[in-house]
Structure 1
């Protein structure tokens, strides 16, 4: 096969893969917005990436043209392609760490009754006294862990947001108690307004009550890595227990966490 043919096949394959990835980004950004009314940094980034990648694929320039506009378009397209590639690579590297801490950093198997650590259940949105889909997943994972590790105690962590009528921790404890977990096994941290405060205030409760200082953090898979980093920053050994994935919202929240980790690494005193 001639080199020109190989080059042509490679170009077609590359464009096809890029086009498919742009479509995936578009779907992951649009589905939460259309079906659930979600709009945050995650799906904004996905929609922007899909639009810009589509522009790179379909808009052409010519650096050899005598006219200014085709030359300008060529160089803009080249710079944009490089920026998109860098964004993809950075996201891929951070995603590797997110996968590691979500699925390959569980509590030690030797701790059969859970007495070697304190379960920290991280809160998120509640509607009245009803947990959101994401929070219900975290609570179900917490229930499964607590039910099968009778020596464990848990701290449910989450304050009251501006659009919430009660603290998230109250809803979380109520849910777990309603499923049969003894009330005395659940402590509430109801002051926090961010993941960092979830961890820091839970650490204070651990110290005040003489609980095991190792944290078993229960949260969504995409959230596990950043939660682990905050625990590490506050001087705690931590392991992760991930709730089941909720696929329709996974894309937007995964990208949002990539941005959160990146900002956390680059900006002092990051608090989200």
Structure 2
């Protein structure tokens, strides 16, 4: 049972951290470390199983991830092709394709290192694998916790339902991605109205881009009113240009009306956890909920969100990656 103590302690820290604030990235890391230590503890128990059964489990532990990596690479490449065909060839849309190709490249390098016996190639491969393991661990932490965070439900009364803007079609029309957010906001609004206690204001947030005819907030408000929401229940924040500004300027409006306000922020599901982290930083008193996104759009969008989070914590992440790089160089030099 001693083998399970680290997992239990990490899970306890995770619970305390989540109770303190659900919007922290450290929650994701603690959750990931809990699963890693729990897996190690379970593997340690394999030695107590009959030889054949223990051998099969040990084989599965190494075989399943290997097959899974290849399957993941194929899926990412296929998704990247779909994204390029449906959404265009921008860098953001090609992230899943690039990630899949990077996995294949690392696999090819590993096979080359094993086949040639080159110390230099082996050292480079080891370094890249270690960095890939670290980045993959963080990504899986991000993915798992983002999934859990997305299960949050609205409880109690809220004063505002804030809907974050995105680009418009033709400069003045709401695209499907943004319409998904607005529908989610309306669902929350209608559920609050049905409670019969307090009618929240729908706060649309988004300024006017250089290629847009009207502010995103105005187009969003018009969409809501056309769907039957009373105009007096809609308010606009029409100066922001980024998600950070969406949240800061919306907070100023809400806090100006009522310092004790409580809100819900709505964005798309792939963006919800990072938006929640930004909301915490901006001092917004509320959680973030996600609306549905087309399945083919989700992988590249999620990778883009993770990259943004990784860069936001660049001091720690780049230091660790740099240390792994130095370790790989040292091992190569010592083995030469």
Conserved? CA contact 1:103–1:221, under 8 Å:
no
Displacement of 1:118 after TM fit? 1.1
Comparing 208-217 with 29-38, greater Cα deviation is found at 208-217
Conserved? CA contact 1:138–1:243, under 8 Å:
yes
Matched position secondary structure for 1:159:
coil
Displacement of 1:71 after TM fit? 3.5
Conserved? CA contact 2:207–2:240, under 8 Å:
yes
Report the counterpart of residue 43 of structure 2 in structure 1.
none
Report the counterpart of residue 47 of structure 1 in structure 2.
97
Q: Does 1:144 align with 2:187?
A: yes
Within-5 A mapping of 1:26-105: 26-37=77-88, 39-41=90-92, 43-44=94-95, 46-59=96-109, 60-62=111-113, 70-104=118-152
Equivalent pairs counted in the alignment come to: 257
Q: Which runs of 5+ in 2 are unaligned?
A: 1-51, 194-198, 316-336
Change (3 A) 1:164 1:144: same
Q: How far apart are the structure 1 equivalents of 2:271 and 2:132?
A: 24
Displacement of 1:7 after TM fit? 8.1
Q: Does 1:230 align with 2:278?
A: yes
Aligned equivalent of 1:107, options 148, 154, 163: 154
Aligned equivalent of 2:264, options 216, 229, 252: 216
Change (3 A) 1:65 1:35: closer
Change (3 A) 1:200 1:140: same
Aligned equivalent of 2:222, options 167, 170, 174: 174
Q: How far apart are the structure 1 equivalents of 2:56 and 2:266?
A: 52
TM (normalized to structure 1)?
0.83
Comparing 9-18 with 252-261, greater Cα deviation is found at 9-18
Conserved? CA contact 1:117–1:212, under 8 Å:
no
Change (3 A) 1:64 1:262: closer
Q: Does 1:122 align with 2:164?
A: yes
Displacement of 1:96 after TM fit? 2.6
Conserved? CA contact 1:157–1:198, under 8 Å:
yes
Displacement of 1:159 after TM fit? 1.0
Matched position secondary structure for 2:313:
helix
Structure scoring higher RCO (CA < 8 A, sep ≥ 6) equals 1
1:109-141 per-residue CA deviation (whole Å, 9 max, x = no partner) reads: x33xxxx33111001111122212210100111
Conserved? CA contact 2:84–2:93, under 8 Å:
no
Q: Which runs of 5+ in 1 are unaligned?
A: 268-272
